[in-house]
Amino acid sequence: MSTNSTFSIIGCGHSESFDHFNTNALIRSAQGNLLIDAGYTIKPALHAQGLSIADINAVFITHVHGDHVFGLERLAYESMFRYQTRITLYFHESLFDELWHQTLKGSMGRHGDGEATLGDYFDLVPLSSLTCEIYSHQFQFFQNKHTPGKPSFGFTIDDFLFYSGDTTAIPEIVSRLPFEIGFHDVTLMPVNPVHAAYDSLLEQYSPEIRQKLYLMSYEDHWPEYLARVEKNFAGFATQGMTVALCS
Ligand SMILES: [Zn+2]
């Protein structure tokens, strides 16, 4: 296992946020840099970390919403036409139709040289199982509970780091997975059918689990919740916060 990799939050905002970028993350390793999702703020989010699209070697997509995939067009065009690089695109195979035919093909299906497929822009790795090794790290994926009927995934890395993806509360999943530090979706609105309301996490997760979780994907009135989040959880995830991925 690589011992000098890091996991960074490069955006932690709700899709409506002015204060924060889209909730996306980045794994830096000796073998390459892997984005976790690429929303429509991906270019300024990378710039804020001193990086550009030229520094990205691979992307894993959790699900097909704009704040997680609309940045793929920018990654595709700049890697192909500006930097002459190839980015590897990892996604569960159940996402492909939504990702290409229903979302990206409208803008990317044709470029200056004619018709184009998703595989013309990226090295595609559709995943048929829920486990995968990327850059010497073991990913264990799970279906979370986001928009009903829509495929959406979270994961753990090396049984060490938990990442919920966009989801409502999933105590039955969180409680069975081994991890030491976690990042979990939250919404600070009282009720939400597709994101995890703060009170639902407080009620459904044990104190032992809550103390390991940083909350992400939050709205701009987060200061109103700061004291109670720091009391009941590890805290709010912040942009640029970095965790060493070590065995
Ligand atoms: Zn979403």
Distance 65 CA to ligand 1 centre (A): 5
Strand partners, 245: 5
Spatial distance between the Cα atoms of 208 and 232, rounded to a whole number of angstroms: 10
Distance 37 CA to ligand 1 centre (A): 11
CB-CB neighbours of 214 under 10 Å: 21
For CA atoms 142, 44, 73, 58, give the dihedral sign: negative
Distance 63 CA to ligand 1 centre (A): 7
Strand partners, 183: 163, 214
**Distance from CA of residue 4 to its chain's centroid?**
21
Spatial distance between the Cα atoms of 24 and 68, rounded to a whole number of angstroms: 7
Report the CATH number of the 5-245 domain. 3.60.15.10
Which pTM was predicted? 0.96
Distance 7 CA to ligand 1 centre (A): 21
Distance 198 CA to ligand 1 centre (A): 17
Distance 33 CA to ligand 1 centre (A): 23
Instruction: Give 117's DSSP letter.
Output: -
Answer whether 178's CB lies under 8 Å from 162's CB: no
Distance 186 CA to ligand 1 centre (A): 12
Spatial distance between the Cα atoms of 165 and 183, rounded to a whole number of angstroms: 8
DSSP for 87-108, written as a single string = EEEEEEGGGHIIIIIIIIHHHH
Distance 192 CA to ligand 1 centre (A): 12
Task: List the chain residues with pLDDT less than 50.
Answer: 1-2
- Check residue 3 and give its pLDDT: 64
Spatial distance between the Cα atoms of 122 and 79, rounded to a whole number of angstroms: 9
Domain ranges of the chain: 5-245
Distance 54 CA to ligand 1 centre (A): 26
- Check residue 2 and give its pLDDT: 46
Distance 218 CA to ligand 1 centre (A): 12
Distance 66 CA to ligand 1 centre (A): 8
Distance 40 CA to ligand 1 centre (A): 13
Distance 184 CA to ligand 1 centre (A): 13
Distance 151 CA to ligand 1 centre (A): 10
Spatial distance between the Cα atoms of 222 and 145, rounded to a whole number of angstroms: 23
Distance 61 CA to ligand 1 centre (A): 11
pLDDT in tens, 89-125: 999 999 999 999 999 999 999 999 999 999 999 999 9
Buried b (16+ CB within 10 A) or exposed e, 165-203: bbbbbbeebbeebebebbbbbbbbeeeeebbbbbebbee
DSSP for 34-93, written as a single string = EEE---TTHHHHHHHTT--GGG--EEEE---SHHHHTTHHHHHHIIIIIS---EEEEEEG
Residue (of 98, 105, 131) closest to 119 by Cα position: 105
Distance 147 CA to ligand 1 centre (A): 7
Distance 43 CA to ligand 1 centre (A): 19
Distance 146 CA to ligand 1 centre (A): 7
